[in-house]
Amino acid sequence: MNDTLTMNTLGNTPGHPAGPASDTPPDEAPGAAPASFPASSPALHIPQDLPDTLQRILADKYEEVRERSAATPLAEIERRARGAGPTRDFTGALCHALAEDRIGLIAEMKQSSPSGGRIRDPYEPAGLARAYETAGAACLSVLTDSRWFGGAPEHLKEARAACALPVLRKDFCVHPWQVFESRAMGADCVLLIMAALTDAMAQELEEVARSLDMAVLAEAHDERELQRAFGLQTRLIGINNRDLRTLRTDLATAEALVPHVPADRIPVAESGVRTPDDVRRMSAAGARCLLVGEHLLRQTDVTSAARALVEAG
């Protein structure tokens, strides 16, 4: 039995070469495509071993892409992306922190989450961006998914305009249209969740990102996904300590996987880091770049909380 759900895909990406051939099994091959989506785009891919909530998030995301791309065709969103101005060096900012023997903190902002409910109220992206920058964060991560995380493209725009830090768009990226949209809204980096993508999908999305001078953070949750992430060109390898099936966090995940990351890649530990001791634990495992969000957002003094993590290493 097939372990993915599929649907037809979308027309050629204007001004962009076709990506690698899809690794979708032959009996799941996409059929004729509506003109609004690129033919090189992957079929809808929802792994059935993911929890129901994540399957629904991904299904919603594909529908969202269809609706948003109908309102703003691919050629137009690509034009906006290529006219968005220069990117900020996301990878370079992390490397600079490491070169100065500091923790490379990617400080995240999100209004809510399926597991944590409402996280911060009031939620002020510009103010959070300034607080994180003052604390010594190397980069920002901004959730833009509206239905499940209370995010919006405007949150990323507000945060980036309020500081000089590079910004990751944190969302479920499944289609090249979203990569162009990410750059058009100002993002300097996109997240690729390997559990939600085939290898061909991930490679195509990275190709589009690189054509826009954007960085890519490839996220893995286990050793199989980690090895797949190494097939991409990006140096940034995220290791998520949150089990997608139970939603529990365990720092032992990064401790087990970071040693497998080659020296020419940069491991980024994600989720579960709350205290300076957690930072030192991740640092001892080899991950001196960290993505931290919910813990910081629940603090009254965000600047002090973020600074404590940056200085713990």
Query: Does the pLDDT value for residue 21 go beyond 50?
Result: no
Residue range of the domain that includes 169: 90-310
Check whether 5 has a pLDDT greater than 60: no
Higher pLDDT, 301 or 24: 301
DSSP string of 226-269, one letter each residue: HHHHTTSS-SEEEEE-B-TTT--B-THHHHHHGGGS-TTSEEEE
* Range of weakest confidence among 42-46, 238-242, 271-275, 298-302: 42-46
Number of Cβ within a 10 Å radius of residue 303: 18
Whose tokens are 């080899």? That residue is 286
pLDDT digits 0-9 by tens, 105-130: 999 999 988 877 889 999 999 999 99
Q: What is the pLDDT of residue 53?
A: 83
Whether 181 maps to a domain, the answer reads: yes
> For 131-141, what is each residue's pLDDT tens digit?
999 999 999 99
Which of the pair, 142 or 34, is modelled with greater confidence?
Answer: 142
CA distances from 260 to 224, 256, 279, 291 (A): 11, 8, 19, 19
- Tell me the pLDDT of the chain averaged across its residues: 87
Is residue 24 predicted with pLDDT exceeding 60? no
**Amino acid 52: pLDDT:** 82
Is 33's pLDDT higher than 50?
A: no
Helix or strand run (H / E) with residue 294: helix 294-297
Supply the pTM of this predicted model: 0.86
Q: Which residue has the tokens 């300097």?
A: 188
Whole-angstrom distance, CA of residue 87 vs CA of residue 212: 8
Domain count along the chain: 1
Q: What is the model's pLDDT at position 43?
A: 60
Is 290 part of any domain? yes
Peptide bond into 51 cis (omega under 30): no
At residue 169, the pLDDT reads: 98
Instruction: Give the pLDDT mean for 230-245.
Output: 94
Does residue 1 register a pLDDT over 70?
Answer: no
In a domain, 172, yes or no: yes
pLDDT at 47: 80
pLDDT for 45 equals 80
Task: Answer yes or no: is 79 within a domain.
Answer: no
C-alpha 74/C-alpha 12 separation (Å) is: 9
Report if residue 52 sits inside a domain: no
- Residue-wise pLDDT tens digits, 155-173: 999 999 999 999 999 999 9
pLDDT in tens, 168-208: 999 999 999 999 999 999 999 999 999 999 999 999 999 99
Mean pLDDT calculated for residue range 274-283: 97
In a domain, 150, yes or no: yes
Q: Is the model's pLDDT at 2 over the cut of 90?
A: no
Q: Is the pLDDT of residue 8 over 50?
A: no
What average pLDDT score do residues 30-41 get? Answer: 38
Residue 95 within any structural domain of the chain:
yes
The enclosing domain of 162 has a CATH number of 3.20.20.70
Does residue 249 lie in a domain region?
A: yes
